[in-house]
Structure 1
Amino acid sequence: MNAPTLGDLLDVVGGPSLRLHTAPAGLSVPVTEALLHDAHAPLPRLPGALLLAVGVRAAGAGALVREAAAAGLAGVVVRGADGPAGEAEAHGIALLSVDEDTAWHHVHLLLASAIGARPAPSGSGLGDLGDLFALADAIAAAAGGATAVEDPRQRILAYSTVPGQPVDEDRREGILGLQVPASAENAEQYRVLFAADRPVRLPALTDTGLPRLAMPVRAGGETLGSVWLVDDGTLAPDAEDTLVQGASTAALLLLRARAARELARHQHDELLRRLLDGTADASTGALRLGLEGPVRVAAFVLDAAASLPDAERTALRLLDVVRLACEARYGRHACVLVDGVVYALLPAPGEHGGARHLRLAEDLTRRAGQALRVPVRAALGEVVPDVGAVADSRADADLALRALGPDLPVASVEQVRARVTLLRLTEVLGERRELSAGAWRRVLAYDDAHGTDYARTLACWFHAGCDMAGAARLLAVHPNTCRYRLKQVRRHVGIDLDDPDERLVLWLQLRTLAGLTGAGSPGVPGELNEASS
């Protein structure tokens, strides 16, 4: 089975969502499953599984860590920071933790999605699981053996519940974890099975195990999974024919389930896109997305300066990283990719100042940048009262994205309010003839015709608060030189620098339309300069 490693998992969901305390066996340990601890049942032997310590205090999890190590699990996840790291180190098992206020079902959903495993049936999103279970029961009754339906990665999608049919330990463990136990012998049997086009009889893997009769499930040449029968020697004479028919029906159900999932995902994404552009009904959107109360939009984008051979695919991977992190934090995903930008709706009840959302965005950009090997930038729009105003928060986030740069890869719109105001002013002034006309054009024209430097002198003087000595320092000239230049501006260009309104308009036009700043002053986004060219 092509399972992710512990290191892969941390690349995707590490950070505030999931913290690593110790990994004595290294980060290359494969992780195959996320299991919820059941205090009333023995731990299954599932090499590669992560055990979520439900109902166990972190400080008292030492015994559970020892049991998990004895069962061959990959690691234990506790809630809280004071877990038994020393105990885990001594027994060679990884120890991870999540925040105290994180719901276990959220953690399970996050890890199951990241690992690629399917959560429990009720939350899987596979609409036809009930039909698959009914099919498994029907095959078991007709063929005379316990039946399981699996996907290509040996995850158990459905299993029969016909009373009295013999089973072995492998089946019990598989059903308990919804995953076939991994082993070299198992891998070889799957290789043989997937190379066949008819039912295959496979020997027992252990002295106490039972043989199997298995059939691959295919559609149009694509392997969708497999159907397995436990063979205790009493299978019906036509068991192979029953299995062939059952595999054909399973293919139809799996294809239908896939289509239903894709349709649901498309509808969800389309609703979110319409909310973002302001064309969706707010009440319907809130109900279907499960978002009530204040929200804000976070926007994530790959650095445009990075050279990417497959930017579209990388953007889709960014969407996956953002979606998984949002699931970990909020238990749902409301993320969509639009024109290369990943938008996420973040619930914001009681949000003051945006510190929590900023931390999430900063962590996400860092981890996504490491996983994708390309810089990522993120911007937060303003908090709005409900999803009906999401378009306004999205507009804020889009503006804030444009104001970001290498010096500031993550920010809320409030943090870059001055920059985004200048961006909008640049657009408005440039679009209206009467607003783009004025003295700034005469100053630039005079400089071009006479080789003077009056426009930059004015910009530095404005930047210095109309202080002559300050402007002279920015220009690296004597104050008298600066004073002389301003006098000449009044004389040759006809600007009344004593009029505060004229000073304000001239400063704004030089700053936005001409892209001039005081020498040594903080830079502004390139778009301000590009807008005037």
Structure 2
Amino acid sequence: MAESGRAITVRELTDALDTAIARPADEQYADTVVASVALVDGAELAADATDSPDRTGASGGHVPDVVLHVGVRDDEARAWLVALAGRDRTRRPRVVLSKTSAPSVRSAASEAGIALVEVHPRARWDHVFPQVQRLLDRSRRAGAPDAPDLLAADTDLFDLARTVARNAGGMVSIEDEASRVLAHSPSDETADELRTLSILGREGPRDYLRVLHRWGVYDRLRTSDEVVDVPAHAELATKRRLVVGIHEPVEDAPRMLGSIWLQQGEGPFAPDAADVLRGAAAIAARIIVRSRNAPSTEELLIQRLFGLRGEGVDVPSLAGALNLPQSGPVAVLGFATSGPSGSDVTGRVGSVLRLHASAFRRDSVTTMPGERAYVLLPGYASEQAVAAWTRQLVGALEETRGVVLRAAIATGVAELGDVAAARAEVDRVLDGTAATGPEGRVTTLAESRTAVLLGEILDLIAARPELQDPRVDALAEYDRGHGGELRRSTAAYLAAHGDVRAAAGRLRVHPNTLRYRLRRAESVTGLDLSDSADRLLLEIQLAIRERLEETSPRSSRR
């Protein structure tokens, strides 16, 4: 997951992250330059710490300059740092961002010559990681020839926040329409507790929000472009602020996208602070509209939760970001179309599926990374309720949209860290039940284990040509040369468990005709249909031939 950019110093990195999020590293590392970043979890660190000395780092290749320890325990961090101390300096990261304050970890980092930046325990990695990436990317742009002006380029909300703070005086926070912090300028010692809590939690404290509603601040922000002067509040220990609404640039019906807040610092606001805020609001609107049309960091984290972008998640941070419980049963559902391979859910009923999931569980999480869709349902009432809702949804979409879906359900998932394994399970079920009829459109691994395991066994054999019996190919060659029905007749006989009359009825031929075909099949292949081993082998081999002919190659999702 490494991202590279133009080098910046550790001091520049920690200053930009804000004192509310990260404590500065020891001064000896302040001028250390960094240009790449990666997220790693405990399992990756353990593998790296015990691997051979010529391994090139936690990422398995390029060694990132900055490593973010996501969900890493103190003992895991210490063991990894101790292992790094014995390596060449070119194969060690330069900076570690960690939520630990353990002296043993700090001491191990010092021994390894690595700067340890302590991140606030309540900070969210899905907030910190994009900021580091943004800093490196901005540094790269700044070093490019003819680098454009930040405001003219509409680069991102963090750049905008810093520019507004510099020109209007004070400290800036940019929030969405739900009062969640999207970006902010660096804080100083005059930042009040409201600002610190908002940056860490990305949402303003409820008491203050109620005061703002009572003062009519949000009504004014929604209905006009005026800059509202919000006085200090002694009881809540908040300082004076200026705020302006961000509105979508749509004629006739402008929609509020968020707001820009300017907290007063040591000195007064700049004389033209109101004009700066109004101009910034127009720029912020363009940035927000553009970003909403691009994949979000949240979506990437959701895909990581489902195991679609590598293994390992920071469960506490992700649970906080998505308002999900860290433990307790969750259900994982997978949806696929019943059409040809490659028919995708997203393009046909993706938005409807997401809406139905949200109606069933307000805290549901949905992702659609390709031809399948996955839904997470936390705190579901019962397995029966999940199955009933899924069947109703599949039926409704077929009736109203003409889209035939298949669904696989994994319930009883103990915690968010197990979601990736559950997603792999529903993929197994969807892969193994592609040919089932209407009664199998909504199923679980327990209900369809035979079909799933048999399908996986056939896939394994089909992938190894040496396990495919050439004697069975002789049946198809005979049929092509003689216009015969040996292969189809043999398959029907095996499916009828050796009952000639039943198989002949299905084929609509006389039993004696079938008996003749079976003798001819034995002659052509050299197999003995009275031998149980030969019958088993022949049935497996015929199923493999049918699978290879009727299905396209499966795309790997694991």
Per the normalisation by structure 2, the TM-score is 0.46
TM-score normalised over the length of structure 1: 0.48
